[in-house]
Amino acid sequence: DAGITQSPRHKVTETGTPVTLRCHQTENHRYMYWYRQDPGHGLRLIHYSYGVKDTDKGEVSDGYSVSRSKTEDFLLTLESATSSQTSVYFCAISESSGFGDYTFGSGTRLTVV
Amino acid sequence: RKEVEQDPGPFNVPEGATVAFNCTYSNSASQSFFWYRQDCRKEPKLLMSVYSSGNEDGRFTAQLNRASQYISLLIRDSKLSDSATYLCVVNLNSGYSTLTFGKGTMLLVSP
């Protein structure tokens, strides 16, 4: 019943390389989010989107960019991966921003070596 | 003051115990409130919304105290399957209009 999928599920990449993570939804929700989760920090918002081509920064956006060219897809790009970006990345979707609950994807475990 | 603060735990309880988690939030103008559950190496999932009047879902009771900027989650008759991390989540209404997640409280229920 997964209305939201993330790819890849796991990735190991080298420092300095660009990396793109994909989030795909079949729920036609307007809002999409990228979070990272690290021990001791919890979930932190990287970027979010409130419509096609409409995106905004979250609290930890440095080093990341996003794109949303279709309702169903939200891409997160690490422009030049660093070891500090080793993390678990979760995508989430919601019908309304901040007032409704979020549904999360299964996450992408990214390791930058 | 951290925006959404929780006791990290872990809380170790025997099966059948009652356990309570607390959460404080920084902005008195905050609006929506939720509890999420996250199993080890899994994604967070909504456990329940928190309403001003308090609400109950089976063994789970959530309460909100706006005056004290405080949310609680009570779990009665704990089951082994309740072992997870419980995340307090708030719309802080402070710029992003998105949900802010606490770091979570880990619960371990033992036989």
B70-96 pLDDT per residue, tens: 999 999 999 999 999 999 999 877 555
Across A24-60, b (16+ Cβ under 10 Å) vs e yields bbeeebbbbbbbbbeeeebbbbbbbbeeeeebeebeb
Mean local confidence (pLDDT), B9-23? 95
pLDDT at B8 over 90: no
| Chain B residue nearest residue A55, CA to CA | B96
pLDDT at B31 over 90: no
Please check whether residue A41 touches B, CB under 8 A: yes
Q: Do A106 and B91 touch (CB under 8 A)?
A: no
The residue of chain A nearest to residue B5, with distances taken between CA atoms, is A42
CB B97 within 8 A of CB A97: yes
Inter-CA distances, A16 with A10, A57, A76, B52, B66, Å: 18, 22, 16, 48, 46
B78 SS3 class: coil
Give me the residues paired with residue A54 across strands.
Answer: A51
Tokens 């979570």 locate to: B104
Query: Is the minimum CB–CB distance between A33 and chain B shorter than 8 Å?
Result: yes
Q: Is B35 left (phi over 0), alpha (psi -120 to 50) or beta?
A: beta
Reported as a single tens digit per residue, the pLDDT across A10-68 is 999 999 999 999 999 999 999 999 999 998 888 999 999 999 999 999 989 999 999 99
Q: Sign of the CA dihedral B82, B107, B102, A13?
A: negative
Section A81-88 average pLDDT = 97
Q: What is the pLDDT of residue A26?
A: 96
pLDDT at A3 (0 to 100): 93
- Which residues 46-85 of A are in CB contact (within 8 Å) with B? 48, 56, 58-59
